[in-house]
Amino acid sequence: MILLIGLNHKTAPLAVREKLFAGCEEKQNLLSDVLLLPGVQEVLYISTCNRVELVCVMDGEKETIQGAKRFLSQSGGLTDQEVADCLYVYRDRDAIRHLFRVTSSLDSLVMGETQILGQVKEAYRQALAQNATGLVLNRLLHRSFRTAKRVRTETAIAENPVSVSFAAVELAKKIFGSLVGKKIVLIGAGEMAELASVHLIGNGAEEITVANRSEAQGIAVAEKFHGKAILLENLDAAMIDADIVISSTGASGYVVTEESVRQSMRKRKNRLLFLIDIAVPRDIEPSADSIENVYLYNIDNLQDIVDENMKGRKKEALKAEGIVEEEVIHYNSWIKELEAVPTIVSLRAKAEGIVRQELEKSIGWMQKLSEEDREKVDNLVQSVVNKILHAPVAVMKEESSEVSSKGIVEAVRQLFRLDE
C-alpha cells in the first residue's frame, strides 16, 4: 500500500508548518527512523516552506497509518487538535495522484512554479542515498517527474509570468527584444523595485544607476547591484542614457514629469524608453505615456497583466489535471500488476522444476540420442511449457491491472498448488 501523510499551506497555518518543519529538520536520521516503524518498507520525505509530507510503502493497514501519524505529531510537537485539523492522509490511488499533483506544481501556492520539481528531486536523491526507496517508490518518483514534464510541455501552465517583477521583465523583452546591455535607472528603493531590477539583470541588463534623495541610502542600494548612485537632482541626465526606469519613492508628488521625459526623449534621439512606476502615490506623471516611444506602466497595469496570466494558468490547470489522471491510471495499473508478480514467479519456478525433474528422469534413454537431438528435445519441452503458461500469466496481469489481483491470484495458486 502507498501512503502519503503530511500537511501543506492549504491545510495548516504557518505556525504549525514551522513547528513540523523544524522538528523534522532536527531529526538526523529521519528516513531510517520512519523505516523502523512497523510495516514500513520504503519512504520518501518531502519538505518545502509550504509542505511537509511523508510518502511510504507499507503493508498492514490501520496500525501503520497510526504509527506514521504519531511519528509526525511527535516530531513536530503537534497537539491532537492540530493533528486532526491539519494532517491529511491519502492512500493508494489518492496518494499517487497527490504526489503527481505536487510535482506538477498543481498543488503549489503559485500554480505552475518550477521550484517544487527540483525540491522533490532533491528529496528523492536523499532517499536514494540512504537506501530508503525500493521498487515501488522508485517507479512512483520517476513517473511523477515524467508527469511534471508532460504538464510543463503539454500545457501552458508555466508560460506567462504571475509576479509583478517578472511581468516587467516580459514587457521589457517585448519592447527591447534582448535586454543584454540595457541600462536601468532605479529611483528610490523598495522591495518590489529591487526585485524587478534583479530579474532584469538576470535577463542581461547591465548598468544600474540608483537615484535617491539621500546619498547614503542610494549608495547602499547601488552596492547591492554593483551600480552607481546619483542624487535625485541629477536624474534628468541619467535618463538620457537609460533604457528602463523603475520608480518607487515615497514622494507625494511626481518625481518624473511629462515635460522632463519629453526633454530627455529629444536628447536621446527618440530611443525607446520603458518607465515602470511601482510607487503609490504615483511617481511618474501619467501623461508621459502619451509621448512617442515611451511606455509607462504603473503598478495597476502590471497587476492586471499578472491577473490575466493567473486566469490563463487556471485554465491550463484543467488540462494538467487530465494529464495527471492519465498518469495515475498508468501507474496504478502497474502497481496492481505488481501484486500478481510473486505468483507469476512461483508459477514459472514450479514449471521449471517439473521440466528439470522429468529431463533428469529421462537421462537414461536420452543418452542414446546425439547432442543435437538432445538439445532439440530440450527446446521442445521448454516451448510447450512456455506456451501453456503464457495464457494464465497474461490473464493474471490483465485481470490484476484492470480489476483486482486478489481473486485471480488465489485461483492460480489453488489450481497449480503453488502453496504446497
Partner 1 sequence: MTLLSIELILFKLSLAFCALCTFGYLLSLLIKRVMLAKASTWVLMIAFGLLTVNLLTAFINSAGPLNLGSRDFFLFCAWAIAGLYLGFQFKTKTRSLGAFISPFILLLMIAAAGQETGKSLLPENLQSWLTTLHLAFAIIGEALFVLASCAGAMYVIQNGLLKHKKLGKMSRLLPSLHDLDRINHLCLLWGFPILTIGIIAGAVFAGMAWNTLWPTDPKIIWSLAAWVIYGFLLHQRLAIGWRGSRMAVLSCAVFILFLLSFFVVRFCFTTLHDFI
Per CB under 8 A, residues contacting partner 1 are 160, 167, 170-171, 173-178, 269-272, 289, 292-293, 295, 297, 301, 304-305, 308
Nearest to 405 by CA among 341, 329, 345: 341
Task: List C-alpha distances in Å: 211 to 63, 186, 195, 399, 410.
Answer: 64, 6, 16, 72, 79
Q: Are 231 and 255 in contact (CB under 8 A)?
A: no
* CA distance to 38, 277, 390, per residue, from 67 (Å): 8, 55, 42
Instruction: In angstroms, give the least distance from the CB of 324 to partner 1.
Output: 24
> Residue 110 corresponds to which cell in the numbers above?
503559485
* 308 vs 378, beta carbon nearer partner 1: 308
- Cite the active site residues: 49
- Least distance in Å: CB of 129 to partner 1? 40
Q: Write down the least CB distance from residue 280 to partner 1, Å.
A: 17
Least distance to partner 1 from the beta carbon of 292, Å? 6
Phi-psi region of 242 (alpha: psi -120 to 50; beta: other; left: phi over 0): beta
Q: Least separation, in Å, of the C-beta of 257 and partner 1?
A: 19
